[in-house]
Every structure is written in C-alpha cells, then in structure tokens.
Amino acid sequence: MLHYPTSHNHYTFTYALKACCFLHDDNKGREVHARVIKTGHFSDTFIQNSLLHFYVTQADIASATRVFNSIPKPDVVSWTSMISGLNKCGFVEEAIVKFMSMDVPPNSTTLVIVMSACSSLGALKFGKSVHGYCMRKLSERNVILENAVLDFYMRCGSLVSARLFQEMVQGDEVEPNEATIVNVLSACSSIGALSLGQWVNSYISARPDLVLNGIVGNALINMYVKCGEVGMAVSVFKTLVCKDNISWTCSHTGLVDQGLMIFNAMKNVYRIAPQTQHYACLVDMYGRAGFLEEAESFMKEMPTEADGAVWGALLNACKIHGNEKMFKRIRNGLLKSRGVSIGTYALVSNTYTTHERWDEADKVRDEMRQMGLKKLAAYSQIDVDPNIL
C-alpha cells in the first residue's frame, strides 16, 4: 500500500493498520499514520479507531492518547480502546477515570475491561456500582461479562460471588463455561472457600459435558491443596485421564505442603529437634516435586551446615529435572563444603557420565583420587538361614 499511494480509502488504511498490529511493526504503522494525514483521511472515525487500536496494541499510550484527544466525537469503540490500553499498560486508576468521563453509553466489552480494572485495584465499592449499571442497563446476559463480575467479587473476597455463581447455575439463559468454573475455583483457592469449592466440584460432576481434565481439573486440584484438603486433591488427580505438567505440579504442591506440615509439627508440637537426615528429606521432597529454587533456599536456611546427604539430595533433583545451570552451582558449592563425601562425589561423577560429559566426569574422579577418596564396590547380601551368602 505504501508503494502505491493513490486510490486509498478507509478500508485499505484499516486493513493496513491491522496488518501492522499483527506483525507488531511499529515503524510501518507510523508510516501508515503519516499517509492517512497526507491524504486527508484522518477525520474518518473508522480510521481514527484503527489508529487508536494500533497504538494501544504497541503499548504506546502517549501516541494513543494524542490520537484519542484528536477525535472530535469519540464513539464507544474509541472509548473502549483507550480504556483497554490504559488498563493493559498498568494505568489502572487512569482507566477507571477515563471510564467515568465517558459521554456515550458503554457496551459489554467496556464493562468487562472496567470490572477487570476494579479487580486489580480491589475497588469493591466502585465495582459494585458498575455491576449495578450492568444489571440495570444491559438487557441481554453475557457470559464473558458475568465471568468478569464473578472474578471481581472473588478477588475482592466477597461472598456475593457464591450467590452469583449459583444464580448462573440455576438460570436457564447462561450456563457457566470452563472459564467461569476456573475463575470460581481460583478465587476459592485465594480466599480458602472450601465449601463453595466443594459445591463447584459437585456441579462439575453433574455436568456430563464437562471433562475433568486440563484447566478445570488443575484448578480443582489447586483449590483442594490451597484449602488444606490434600487427600481430596490426590483423589481428583488420580481421576484425571490426561495429566499435564501443571497437574503434576499441583498434586506435588499438595504433598510438599503436607510434608512441611509434618516437619513443622515435629519441631513445634512434638519438640523433636530435626536432624540432618530430616533436612535431607525436605530438600529431596522439594527437589522431586520440581521446586529446585525452594530446595536450595531451604538448604541455605538450615541452622547447621549441610552434609553430603543434603547436598546429594539437591544434586539428584538437578539431575532428575535436567537443570544444568543449578547443577553446576550446587556442585561448586558442594566441593567447597566440609560435608562432602565419597557418595556425593560419586553422584556428581555419575551425573556427568549420564550426559556423556566424560572429561568432566574424569576431573571429578581425579579430585577424588587427590583427596584419597575411593568408591567402594557395590555388593548385596541375602539371608539364607542360618548363613549369610
């Protein structure tokens, strides 16, 4: 289009700007903007809104504001684009102020964005007034808007959310979709609303069209874990036909939480002083669940210096999850510690061997020989009464 400057109308400019948005090509978009001005098409509201959308997509709020302010009579699309841009770029309060200055009625898309802004700010009072406007002015129910309203109340910790969800379930016009259910379960996780979460679980079971897999199953597991019902979380996990990485993480999170609870009870309730092997178990638990950073932090916060068992647990976790960067860091820290043992050296050597890094494995073995450490040959014993063979 830029090579053929004649015979352009608002359709060609609009499609060109859409292409620039899709390609995230800021320079070409500005060239189109310049061409719009030169050809005298800037007064076209259709093109003005396209330019506004382009700058919002590029997160260029300053340019978007200039375009918006140059529109003589912004329509609902103009206002919605500007409010959306402010909200997405973190100017949440400004987005609400812009909404309050609208001189045209907002549509459902505008209201979804404003409810999202209210959720971010925790603006319960203003959000309630926006919800009231939705109920008074919108004749048709909109599942996306209802999800936004529901999410708003949940994030603000309001029990109104429970009533709204139940109204959606019991109504005939709008049936909660996966996004609605995930939002509700996520909110239950945040505020510890176990009863509502269990009610949602029952609702899911009664819906034959809802498969307990993917995001719904993961959200349900996460809800039970965050509410302290680890047993239920494991039960849900076992029913999932397709378990993805998030499913495993959610279930492991529950087991980690349970392990920490037992560890803390051992210290604080039963007054049992943790020994090195207890710390090693905790590091191993974190590591096997994939929480390598947490495992390392826990090890650093130990009241005593980590011994070979603790270092070995963390090294083994790095090996399991293929985190080579952390493996190197832990390996260097291990070799400087006083708790190094033949077993941990052997683990380092074996890890390098597994990844066919023979030179590094040989260096570790050389260090072992220099320190006078020798790996004992493995052997097994069986008890054949009365002799041990």
Tell me the pLDDT tens digit for each residue of 229-288.
877 887 888 788 776 665 555 555 657 777 787 788 788 887 888 888 888 888 888 887
Residues 304 and 269 in one domain: no
CA dist 211 and 38 (Å) reads: 56
Q: How confident is the model at residue 361 (pLDDT cuts 50, 70, 90)?
A: confident
Q: Tell me, what's the pLDDT at 379?
A: 47
Q: Examine residue 332 and state whether it is found in any structural domain, yes or no.
A: yes
Residues 307 and 260 in one domain: no
Q: What is the model's pTM?
A: 0.54
Residues 350 and 287 in one domain: yes
- Of residues 86 and 155, the one with the higher pLDDT is 86
Q: Examine residue 363 and state whether it is found in any structural domain, yes or no.
A: yes
Q: What is the largest CA-CA distance in the chain?
A: 104
Q: Examine residue 172 and state whether it is found in any structural domain, yes or no.
A: no
Residues 285 and 314 in one domain: yes
Mean pLDDT in residue range 76-90: 93
Q: Examine residue 262 and state whether it is found in any structural domain, yes or no.
A: yes
Q: Tell me, what's the pLDDT at 382?
A: 46
Mean pLDDT lowest for which of 35-39, 111-115, 181-185?
35-39
* pLDDT exceeds 80 at position 25: no
Q: State the average pLDDT for the chain.
A: 79
If we measure between CA atoms, which residue out of 68, 139, 149 comes closest to residue 114?
149
CB distance 147 to 180 below 8 Å: yes
Q: End of a domain among 209, 242, 273?
A: 273
Q: How confident is the model at residue 381 (pLDDT cuts 50, 70, 90)?
A: very low
Q: End of a domain among 229, 249, 273?
A: 273
CA dist 217 and 245 (Å) reads: 12
Q: Please count the structural domains in the chain.
A: 2
Residues 269 and 279 in one domain: no
Q: How confident is the model at residue 344 (pLDDT cuts 50, 70, 90)?
A: low
If we measure between CA atoms, which residue out of 146, 232, 148, 217 comes closest to residue 185?
217
Its domain, for residue 353, covers: 274-389
- Of residues 140 and 61, the one with the higher pLDDT is 61
Q: End of a domain among 249, 273, 297?
A: 273
Residues 323 and 230 in one domain: no
Q: Tell me, what's the pLDDT at 380?
A: 45
- Of residues 336 and 81, the one with the higher pLDDT is 81
* pLDDT exceeds 90 at position 317: no
* pLDDT exceeds 50 at position 300: yes
Residues 246 and 325 in one domain: no
* pLDDT exceeds 50 at position 389: no
* Parallel, antiparallel or unpaired: strands 383-384 and 387-388: antiparallel
Residues 238 and 326 in one domain: no
Q: Tell me, what's the pLDDT at 155?
A: 77
Q: Examine residue 2 and state whether it is found in any structural domain, yes or no.
A: no
Residues 282 and 387 in one domain: yes
CB distance 125 to 96 below 8 Å: no
Residues 222 and 321 in one domain: no
CB distance 79 to 98 below 8 Å: yes
Residues 253 and 281 in one domain: no
Q: Tell me, what's the pLDDT at 106?
A: 95
* pLDDT exceeds 80 at position 109: yes
Q: Examine residue 90 and state whether it is found in any structural domain, yes or no.
A: no
* pLDDT exceeds 50 at position 388: no
CA dist 148 and 135 (Å) reads: 14
DSSP 179-215: HHHHHHHHHHHHHT-HHHHHHHHHHHHH-TT--S-HH
Mean pLDDT lowest for which of 103-107, 247-251, 284-288, 351-355?
247-251
CB distance 336 to 310 below 8 Å: no
Residue type present at position 327: F
Q: How confident is the model at residue 4 (pLDDT cuts 50, 70, 90)?
A: low
Note the pLDDT tens digit of each residue in 115-169.
Answer: 999 988 888 899 999 999 998 888 787 888 888 888 888 777 776 766 777 677 6
CA dist 103 and 93 (Å) reads: 18
Residue type present at position 321: H
* pLDDT exceeds 80 at position 333: no
CA dist 31 and 19 (Å) reads: 13
For residue 302, what is the domain's CATH number? 1.25.40
Mean pLDDT in residue range 333-361: 68
Q: Examine residue 385 and state whether it is found in any structural domain, yes or no.
A: yes
- Of residues 299 and 355, the one with the higher pLDDT is 299
Q: Tell me, what's the pLDDT at 239?
A: 82
Q: Examine residue 190 and state whether it is found in any structural domain, yes or no.
A: yes
What b/e sequence results for 1-39 when a residue is b if at least 16 CB atoms lie within 10 Å of its CB, and e otherwise? eeeeeeebeeebbbebbeebbeeeebebbbebbebbeee
Q: How confident is the model at residue 209 (pLDDT cuts 50, 70, 90)?
A: confident
Q: Tell me, what's the pLDDT at 76?
A: 95
* pLDDT exceeds 70 at position 290: yes
Q: Tell me, what's the pLDDT at 247?
A: 56
Residues 215 and 283 in one domain: no
Q: Tell me, what's the pLDDT at 100?
A: 94
- Of residues 12 and 83, the one with the higher pLDDT is 83
